[in-house]
Amino acid sequence: MASWKDNVRAVEPYTPGEQPQVKDIIKLNTNENPYPPARGVAEALAAFDAGRLRKYPTPDARELVEALSKAYGLPKEDIFVGVGSDDVLAMSFLTFFNSEKPILFPDVTYSFYDVWADLFKIPYKRVPLQDDWSVDTDAFCRENGGVVIPNPNAPTGLLLPLSEIEKILAANPASVVIIDEAYIDFGGESALPLLSKYENLLVVRTMSKSRSLAGSRIGFAFGNPELIRYLWDVRNSFNSYTMDSVTQAVGAAALADSAYFNDTCAKIIKTRTRFASEMKELGFTFPESSANFIFASHPDVDAAQLFADLKAAGIFVRYFPKGRTRDSLRITIGTDEEMDRLLAFLKDYLKK
């Protein structure tokens, strides 16, 4: 007999990292920033007039877009914003990936891409990374319905040189190429300078990592005005007023303090360098990271077991048990003290 269930859009959802609500843990599982947001953020929250909440926010998220325009030196018409870069990416998939041809993304990458493709019924092909975890750029230069690549990639942390990104853009004038720069502020070279040259480029960013605002859910994207206009049209056919007034004020305040931003990113890079060299000494191997995490494995250690043992000790990291990622753990770079506690645990662990 027919059932209403026959018509359900059933999907296998993305599994976000755990957000344990207990104190005294070391949380290195979702690439959050260990440092607080810029001081201006708390000031903006304290100064926010609750009376403003009576009204809808501006549908074009004017306050936030203006602040982004000023901070990045790009016209407002080049900017789109969303509720985290997840929202920006979802809207971009819906807007730009509307072909019978498969979209392409790496086989080891952000595990939300195939979820959106399934949800929106977009055909897709996973392009295998090479043995050293690097992106096989030639494989992105064949016919497709669109391209999405994180740079640096997640969970590997590996950066693709800008020249390789440009090769992909030049080979794909008939597709939109999305470069997901969620982690670019931790030492990578952004594709933003290519915007003036390639009208098929969309660069997606987030304030969740480098600006310590995962809790505020602010994502944004840069592209040529026509591309951006299409995004707003889809956004406004789905849900307008998505960026609430408080969040816009928070985002603008974070953008205003570039000194703090630069400082925080530099601190994380410094900790990453030190942590990476100590991990190497312990026998861990990993691709060179340009992100705020490293993706480490050890020849004598079962990753699933280490993941469970770390968790039992109150240290949360991320484990992707399927396929090629099953031997590695993705470890977010926290404070120096947090990384020292993790290193102490690992030294002890490897002795047993």
- Contact residues toward ligand PMP (CB under 6 A) are 84-86, 110, 150, 154, 180, 182, 206, 208, 214, 219
Q: Smallest distance, Å, CB 65 to ligand PMP?
A: 17
Rounded distance, CA 161 to CA 44, Å? 37
C-beta of 95 vs 206, nearer to ligand PMP: 206
C-beta of 154 vs 331, nearer to ligand PMP: 154
Strand bridging mode 26-27 / 201-206: unpaired
Strand bridging mode 79-82 / 219-222: antiparallel
C-beta of 298 vs 318, nearer to ligand PMP: 318
Q: Smallest distance, Å, CB 296 to ligand PMP?
A: 17
Q: Smallest distance, Å, CB 24 to ligand PMP?
A: 24
Q: Smallest distance, Å, CB 27 to ligand PMP?
A: 14
Identify the DSSP state of 307.
H
> In terms of C-beta density within 10 A (0-12 exposed, 13-18 middle, 19 or more buried), how is residue 1 classed?
exposed
C-beta of 33 vs 85, nearer to ligand PMP: 85
C-beta of 209 vs 298, nearer to ligand PMP: 209
Long-range interactions of 172-176: CB distance < 8 A, separation 24+: 172/140, 172/141, 172/144, 172/147, 172/200, 173/200, 174/200, 175/99, 175/144, 175/145, 175/146, 175/147, 175/200, 176/92, 176/96, 176/97, 176/146, 176/147, 176/200, 176/201, 176/202, 176/227
Q: Smallest distance, Å, CB 309 to ligand PMP?
A: 24
Q: Smallest distance, Å, CB 188 to ligand PMP?
A: 12
C-beta of 86 vs 346, nearer to ligand PMP: 86
The closest residue (CB) to ligand PMP is: 84
Rounded distance, CA 250 to CA 45, Å? 7
